[in-house]
Amino acid sequence: MTMTLTAADGHELQAFIAGPEDAEKGIVVLQEIFGVNSHIRDVCEFYASKGYRVIAPALFDRIESGVEMGYTAQDVDRGKQLKAKVSYDDALKDIEAAATALAGQKQIGVVGFCWGGTLTWVAACRSSLFSAASCWYGAGIAELRNEKAKCPVQMHFGERDKSIPPEDVEAIRAAQPDVDVCVYDADHGFGCDQRGSYDPFASELARTRTVEFFKANL
């Protein structure tokens, strides 16, 4: 199901929402650079099956509405172009609008992938609306590693991810000793079963860890 959200600056955006309305806890799911596509909707449905109320804001709506792409080289190029036009501050407004839409939930977690993994870290550090954050292969986290999280954070990286070299992961570990940093024998995007880099073992392990992390902190 989709719904319309209104951010603090008046911008209206669409969001995919799933799960029981009367759930005690909620999760905001943050997209890759490919929009709120079928993979992101599948992620929402997975967490909804765990009893959460789940919402995925369309973060490209500020630039172009209805963006939903696959994983071709052309899609990657277009996704990068769109991402470059959305500032962290504007994305955070839309993320907080999604969290606010979960008004019936007592505690809210946030999980994101790729660009959304970086935005999950931004949300954990710059918003007070979240009680736990799980960041999956966010390439921009290293540049923001000295920010301070306001909630418990877990991170997932692939050691064969060329966009996030091992030295970046180690720099994050050094800057954030309280963050649970998990590394897998996998490439970027290992959690998406629509990508060539999908790794079912790493994906399942990271997903299990995320579920347990939310269970412990929400």
Instruction: Provide the strand spans (E) within the chain.
Output: 2-6, 12-18, 25-30, 53-57, 107-113, 132-136, 153-158, 180-184
Per-residue pLDDT of 159-207, as tens digits, reads 999 999 999 999 999 999 999 999 999 999 999 999 999 999 999 999 9
Residues of the chain with pLDDT under 70: none
Residues contacting 107, CB < 8 A, separation 6+ = 24, 25, 26, 131, 132, 218
pLDDT of residue 103: 85
Per-residue pLDDT of 155-172, as tens digits, reads 999 999 999 999 999 999
Domains assigned to the chain: 2-217 (3.40.50.1820)
**Token duo for residue 25:** 């806890």
pLDDT of residue 45: 98
AA letter at 192: C
Query: Catalytic positions, please?
Result: 114, 161, 188
Q: Please tell me the pTM assigned to this model.
A: 0.98
